[in-house]
Structure 1
Amino acid sequence: MISVVVPLYNEEDSLVELSVALKKVLDNLRCSWEVLFIDDGSTDTSYQKLQEIHKVNSKFKCLKFKRNYGKSSALQEGFKAAKGDYVITMDADLQDDPEEIPALIAKLNEGFDLVSGWKKVRHDPFIKKHTSKLFNGVTSMMVGLKLHDYNCGLKAYVRDVVKNVKVYGEMHRYIPALAHLSGFRVTEMAVTHHERKYGKTKYGLSRFFNGLFDLITVLFTTKYIKRPLHLFGFIGVMSFMAGTGILIYLTILKFFESTPISGRPLFFVGILMAIVGVQFFSIGLIGEMITKTSVENDNVIIDKTLGLGS
């Protein structure tokens, strides 16, 4: 079975056209399928459009949030509801092409766990295009997984990935990184990217800087969330040892050369580093205790459902 998860926010103009294109492609695959529209608190008539689509074909289902929670929460709820062995994600603005789905699935059949789309020829504003290039380069370097387009909405996953990789906050753009750091096989494939047909992009320059902070969070949460003492403890021990070494050096000077040390700047540096070292080590210990209680995803409130039960 194939599940297609489509997060959306105020995309009333594109939904009918998208559903027609999806049905055409999915029917040709000759397997069972479902499409899960995740309405992230739209304020236009998106949900009414989805109701009409569902009445015509019950394979098109929907979750509607009470308010706007963000794309990560929309994807996470879609992943939880998906029943397919393969899961496809795509945006609802018609810039992602449903015709790419068979090729993405074929790539999964080669043994990969996640196939990320690469908008090789992009139809985006100048700022988005070039900040995205910088963002992808930095991410590839820090994560150790070279991808040209981490944030492409068109991706294909095996079931194990969507059921085990948790996204929250604004982490949706880092799903390939999270999967890679969790041991899954990740690759990319060039896909067609169309110009936006309706509405306008929701991208802002601030999202680029937010993305860099999120990257640091990803690296920390994947490598140290279960062992914070390894990070903070290491920093703390190094700082404490450096501070102690400075104080020992000054003490030796005092006893063997009768050099006063209390007024020297190095004396205060040594004390400061020793104190900071103890504080960092303490933070690591506190972090170890905090990890005993799991951090849950955002508790979204589902407003309405179509074809997914109560």
Structure 2
Amino acid sequence: MNYPPHLSVIIPLLNEADGLPELYRELQEALRPWANRHELIFVDDGSTDGSFAALEKLHAEDPRVVVLRFRRNQGKASALMAGFRRARGEILVTLDADLQDDPREIPRFLDKLDEGFDLVSGWKVKRQDPIIRRVLSRVFNSVTSLFTGLTLHDFNCGFKCYRRGVIQEIRLHGELHRFIPALASWRGFRIAEIEVAHRPRKYGQSKYGSERIPRGFFDLLTVLILTRYHLRPLHLFGALGALLSLAGSIGLAYLVFGWFFGQWIGDRPLLSLSILTMIIGLQFIFFGLLAEIIVYSSRQTDIPPLAAVLDQDDSRKDID
């Protein structure tokens, strides 16, 4: 009988050919209790080594292995979205293919999910990474927790477990995969975190460098706009505009005060700067007003997603 698997494990990868056979063996051992109720979805994100050939061999040996391949590198967010769309399980697990995540942790994720949560994220307490990367990760997680309102120790951990309803409401692009818990929390899903082991890398090399730092800042700004301000953009742009206008007004007030006492202000750089600041502030405010009009026009008949409905016969209907 061909029935949808209960558990889908999604593994995005890039140039991890050496470790794939070992990862497959570990996954099979960890998923033994779900032997006939799981599928493994490997997403090859444009590998240039022998990763795809290794995956073809695994697929030929085990029909539960699903292989997706991009023609060129598209990024982890795209790889995850491709895996989400192909997955058939009610529960989805994601982990990296570098063997630093231990598949034996999967049952712990499922147990935590059964406590009533919708997404369980891993927390690599003892990271096997260089100290500079650990420091940057701590800063990133602290700033993200502060601005998103969701307190997690490790937003970027690739080891996560989801209910299907979560991935049905989240769309990823760019590098927004790092903010999946924040996006899910904003949609009203319940988020939990568990400690997981982080093993040293055995094969290949890390795909992440220092260039992620500035990209992470802009991605965080994108998440804030998509969550807190997507329905009220004037609150963001209006606040920025008001601060700039206030700064310009203070500068002009200071110059006018000096002018009353005979000071010449026509050649003062502060005069030009204050006027420019006020103009930019007003532009931010008007930009926010235009964004509000656009939002209202496009979403005036829209409502947030429902979690349940009580119909006329008072029977409860859950909505995934």
Which of the five TM-score ranges fits, normalised by the shorter chain?
A: 0.7 to 0.9
Q: Which residue, 236, 239, 260 being the options, matches 2:241?
A: 236
Q: Which residue, 84, 101, 107 being the options, matches 1:102?
A: 107
1:193 is paired with a residue whose SS is coil
Asked if 1:279 corresponds to 2:283, the answer is yes
C-alpha distance in structure 2 between counterparts of 1:268 and 1:207, whole Å: 37
1:188 counterpart residue number? 193
Q: Which residue, 28, 37, 48 being the options, matches 1:32?
A: 37
C-alpha distance in structure 1 between counterparts of 2:274 and 2:128, whole Å: 55
C-alpha distance in structure 1 between counterparts of 2:101 and 2:71, whole Å: 26
Q: Where does the alignment leave 5 or more consecutive residues of structure 2 unmatched? A: 1-5, 300-320
- Kindly indicate whether structure 1 or structure 2 has the higher relative contact order, using CA contacts under 8 Å at least 6 residues apart: 1
CA deviations over 1:70-124 (Å, ceiling 9, x no partner): 1111111111221111110000111111111111011011011111111112212
2:189 is paired with a residue whose SS is coil
2:122 is paired with a residue whose SS is strand
C-alpha distance in structure 2 between counterparts of 1:195 and 1:260, whole Å: 68
CA contact (8 A) 1:261 1:267 kept: no
1:297 counterpart residue number? none
CA deviations over 1:222-256 (Å, ceiling 9, x no partner): 222343233213433565577679879999999xx
Deviates more, 1:261-270 or 1:281-290: 261-270
Would you say how many aligned residue pairs link Structure 1 and Structure 2?
Answer: 292
Check 1:11–1:241 CA distance in 2 against 1; reply closer, same or farther (3 A cut). closer
C-alpha distance in structure 1 between counterparts of 2:131 and 2:239, whole Å: 43
User: Where has structure 1 moved over 6 Å in runs of 4 or more?
Assistant: 244-254, 257-262
Check 1:252–1:127 CA distance in 2 against 1; reply closer, same or farther (3 A cut). closer
1:128 counterpart residue number? 133
CA contact (8 A) 1:128 1:203 kept: no
Check 1:250–1:211 CA distance in 2 against 1; reply closer, same or farther (3 A cut). closer
Check 1:66–1:290 CA distance in 2 against 1; reply closer, same or farther (3 A cut). farther
> What letter is aligned with 2:281?
G
Asked if 1:164 corresponds to 2:155, the answer is no
Check 1:52–1:233 CA distance in 2 against 1; reply closer, same or farther (3 A cut). same
1:227 counterpart residue number? 232
CA deviations over 1:49-77 (Å, ceiling 9, x no partner): 11111111111101100100011111111
Percent of pairs with identical residues: 48
Check 1:219–1:20 CA distance in 2 against 1; reply closer, same or farther (3 A cut). same
CA contact (8 A) 2:255 2:265 kept: no
Q: Which residue, 141, 146, 159 being the options, matches 1:141?
A: 146
CA deviations over 1:117-154 (Å, ceiling 9, x no partner): 11112212222222212222222222222222111111
2:266 counterpart residue number? 263
1:153 counterpart residue number? 158
C-alpha distance in structure 1 between counterparts of 2:212 and 2:98, whole Å: 19
Asked if 1:64 corresponds to 2:69, the answer is yes
Q: Where does the alignment leave 5 or more consecutive residues of structure 1 unmatched? A: 295-310
TM-score by length of 1: 0.83
Check 1:271–1:210 CA distance in 2 against 1; reply closer, same or farther (3 A cut). closer
C-alpha distance in structure 2 between counterparts of 1:85 and 1:194, whole Å: 28
